Structure 1
């Protein structure tokens, strides 16, 4: 089961939390959900070159707080905050609430699954060989402290007539283990031969206690992938 489902959705409430954090009654829920989808689509289009890892939307009382997790905060903010003010005005077109934007820097983009997938996609669009791009991303993630990584590329690889899937893995990626902090990201590369899909799974350690915010806190603090992981004591030998 763990091999097939989205690893983030499978761990919601265990060591991952939702990207949209608000409550609404049944009359307003549909409208707010549509607002979230439109805001995310607009931001992903506007910030395509800003290495955006995640967008979190919160709605405290009559406010809309948007947190943008990015590896290039300078591109999002712009000169003297001009770009972020333009983004705020565009978000206001979709909601009547007071808009606040927070910029959260991703400390280690080499171990962020979404950014790794985006990096591979950008290299494929520049006609870098898919094996070289994928292996380089895998090796860099392991060197930066990931405990395991798997990368899938699927499509007309190398311009082949028949589409196929190839994958590369280093270290451990325990998808069945719920306490495992698994980051997952997808991206698409538009090439002259068609679209190539990229999926990346990164294992960053185990969260032994119930902590839905563990993954997000670990990403923003930029610590080692295994930081905060409790060590299990060895079992005592059985008495004969």
Structure 2
């Protein structure tokens, strides 16, 4: 049977870049890698309700810059910035470096693969019919500008005795085209019958230039356009 490689790993250095961006000496590499894993694990637990898409960690000289991409930045920041100070202290206990936290708002969570997968997983845990949850996610993504989306759900779907795989696809999802901007995310639903795995592939268009930062830059530009539109609407 054909197996599918992780589309993000396949495109690293072409139109995607790493979520941990730093260089280290041979002796420090393992220590910093485990620090990153602990930081991500702790932040995802603390920000379970904040719809976190991804966490990028950069390490300039003796500093640790953590960028949190969230669809609900207000929950991350808290009232008068109280929660973000709490998070800074939590991360500070996990690393010896000086910690800087940045929050980036995800304007279109409907076309963010990790958030789509997490949303479907939450619906399965609330006993929503899996077909309805998947169809709704597909329709929302296509309406918000995705060129294609595929969703896989596997496990004891609907409480069935035998585990199986169900999938939906709409539009194009060219996994072998390296210039394609494919967003990939996974989530696990912990149901009364066991765990169900969710995988989401979203095709957002093609990136013709060779630029590892292109996908992230496109996401940032989309966020800026959304904020400019909101400012114009409020001014009117």
TM range (shorter): over 0.9
Q: 1:106 to 1:91 in 2, by over 3 A?
A: same
Which residue number corresponds to residue 124 of structure 2? 124
Shift of 1:56: 0.2
Pairing 1:208–2:197 present: no
Alignment of 1:2-151 (within 5 A): 4-151=4-151
Q: What is the CA RMSD across the aligned residues, in angstroms?
A: 1.3
Is the contact made by 1:3 and 1:176 (CA closer than 8 Å) also made in structure 2?
A: no
Moved more, 210-219 or 56-65: 210-219
Match of 1:199 in 2: 199
Instruction: Measure the CA separation in 1 of the matches of 2:65 and 2:217.
Output: 18
Shift of residue 107 of structure 1?
Answer: 1.3
- Are residue 167 (structure 1) and residue 174 (structure 2) matched? no
Query: Is the 1:155–1:163 contact (alpha carbons within 8 Å) kept by the matching residues of 2?
Result: yes
In 1, Cα distance between the equivalents of 2:165 and 2:90? 39
Comparing both structures, which one devotes a greater share of its residues to helix? 2
Partner of 1:227: none
Give the match's secondary structure for 1:220: helix
Residue by residue, what CA displacement relative to the aligned partner does 1:42-75 show, whole Å, maximum 9, x if unpaired? 0111111100001000000010000000010000
Q: Which portions of structure 1, spanning 4 or more consecutive aligned residues, are displaced by more than 3 angstroms?
A: none
Q: In 2, distance between residues paired with 1:181 and 1:52?
A: 20
Whole-Å separation in 2 of the counterparts to 1:196 and 1:116:
15
**Residues 3 and 174 (structure 1), Cα distance of their counterparts in 2 relative to 1, 3 Å cut:** farther
Aligned twin of 2:234: none
- Distance in 1 (CA, whole Å) between partners of 2:126 and 2:107 is 26
Distance 1:222 1:2 in 2: 35
CA distance in 2, matches of 1:3, 1:109: 28
Question: TM-score of the superposition, structure 2-length normalised?
Answer: 0.92
In structure 2, the gaps of 5 or more residues are: 224-236
Q: CA deviation at 1:221?
A: 2.3
Cα shift at 1:2: 9.3
The structure number with the bigger radius of gyration is 1
Gaps of 5+ in 1: 224-240
Separation in 1 of the partners of 2:3 and 2:216? 23
Partner of 1:187: 187
2: CA distance between counterparts of 1:137 and 1:50?
19
